[in-house]
A and B are shown apart, each in its own frame.
Chain A
Amino acid sequence: EIVLTQSPDTLSLSPGERATLSCRASQFVSSNFLAWYQQKPGQAPRHLIYRTSNRATGIPDRFSGSGSGTDFTLTISGLEPEDFAVYYCQQYGSSPLTFGGGTKVEI
């Protein structure tokens, strides 16, 4: 099973700042099957990024994903008030599908 470790646990930033979230895999993630989700309290996760760097439908271009192999990054350039949430990475390069533990982006 591929274990995904997200860092930091919490990121304290202000609106307008840049957020850089890390997701490290315990093994190579094949085909770059690495995705990112945003979750707000009481809501289901929202699809942000798939295959490492592709934005999902309707996602603003301030969200970008990068990386390969075992190291992946989600960058939010210019935080908006609605971006403060918990972010999860997820891999499906091999079964079972796994999620990271999440990074909370707070004001």
Chain B
Amino acid sequence: QLQLQESGSGLVKPSETLSLTCAVSGDSISSGTYSWNWIRQPPGKGLEWIGYIYHSGSTYYNPSLKSRVTMSVDKSKNQFSLNLTSVTAADTAVYYCARLTVRGGSFDYWGQGALVTVSS
């Protein structure tokens, strides 16, 4: 059974960089035709897709966040990461990592989510 687990700082100061890692267990991040994604959800609001990375390292970011987002993958550790720079209070959210199937165009496995609060 595939499992994803987010980790990282739960409190980030304004203008600093948010960093999260998603550890994948139960299967190799390199297997199959999947992309590895980050999605966020501000408290009490809907879901926003941040972007994806493939095991090859190729990425696609949501244009609304593109200038501030960087994703990376570490195949040796079977994990992928998110950096979001110059954060503001508007970036306060639960951040989820999730696997997207190319065949279905949908997210079949999700992490439990990590709350990140931006505050001084």
- Contacts from A to B (Cβ < 8 Å): 1, 31, 33, 35, 37, 43-47, 50-51, 54, 56-57, 88, 90-93, 95-102
Verify B49–A56 contact, CB threshold 8 A: no
Interface of A is mostly: loop
Return B20 CB to nearest CB of chain A, in Å.
Answer: 14
Verify B101–A50 contact, CB threshold 8 A: yes
Taking a contact as CB atoms closer than 8 A, the residue among A43, A46, A57, A92 that contacts B105 in the complex is A92
> CB-CB < 8 A to A100: which residues of B?
46
Q: Given A44-B96, A57-B108, A90-B107, 13 more contacts at CB 8 Å? A: A31-B105, A35-B105, A44-B113, A47-B106, A50-B101, A50-B105, A51-B106, A54-B104, A88-B46, A90-B47, A95-B60, A98-B49, A99-B49
Verify B96–A56 contact, CB threshold 8 A: no
Taking a contact as CB atoms closer than 8 A, the residue among B46, B107, B109, B110 that contacts A35 in the complex is B107
Return A24 CB to nearest CB of chain B, in Å.
Answer: 15
10 pairs from A and B in contact (CB 8 Å cutoff): A31-B105, A47-B107, A50-B106, A50-B108, A56-B108, A88-B46, A96-B63, A97-B100, A98-B49, A101-B46
Q: Does B30 have its Cβ within 8 Å of any Cβ on chain A? A: no
- Knowing A88-B47, A99-B48, the reply to whether A44 touches B108 (Cβ < 8 A) is no
Return A43 CB to nearest CB of chain B, in Å.
Answer: 8
